[in-house]
Amino acid sequence: MLNIPLNRILALLLLAVGLAGCASIDYDYPRSESYHLTDGSATSLGRAITPVVAANPEGESGFYPVIDGVDALTVRLLLANRAEKSIDLQYYLIKNDAVGRALILHLLRAADRGVRVRLLLDDMFTSGYDVGLAALESHPNVEIRIFNPFRRGAVGRSLGAATEFRRINRRMHNKSFTVDNQITVIGGRNIADEYFGVREDAKFGDLDVVGIGPVVEDVSNVFDMYWNHPTALPVPAVIAALDDPATALEELRVRLDDAQQEIRSSRYAAAVEAKMLAYLDGENNLMQWAPYRVVVDSPDKAIREKAALAQNI
Separation CA 89–CA 72 (nearest Å): 15
- Three-state SS string over the chain comes to CCCCCHHHHHHHHHHHHHHHCCCCCCCCCCCCCCCCCCCHHHCHHHHHHHHHHHCCCCCCEEEEEECCHHHHHHHHHHHHHHCCCEEEEEECCECCCHHHHHHHHHHHHHHHCCCEEEEEEECCCCCCCHHHHHHHHCCCCEEEEEECCCCCCCCHHHHHHHHCHHHHCCCCCCCEEEECCCEEEEECCCECHHHCCCCCCCCCCCCEEEEECHHHHHHHHHHHHHHCCCCEEEHHHHCCCCCCHHHHHHHHHHHHHHHHHHHHCCHHHHHHHHHHHHHHCCCCCCCEEECCCCCCCCHHHHCHHHHCCCCCC
- pLDDT at residue number 265: 63
187 vs 20, more confident: 187
User: Per residue in 228-277, pLDDT tens?
Assistant: 999 999 999 999 999 999 999 999 999 998 877 766 666 666 777 677 56
Average pLDDT, the chain: 84
User: Per residue in 56-106, pLDDT tens?
Assistant: 999 999 998 989 888 888 889 989 999 999 999 999 999 999 999 999 999
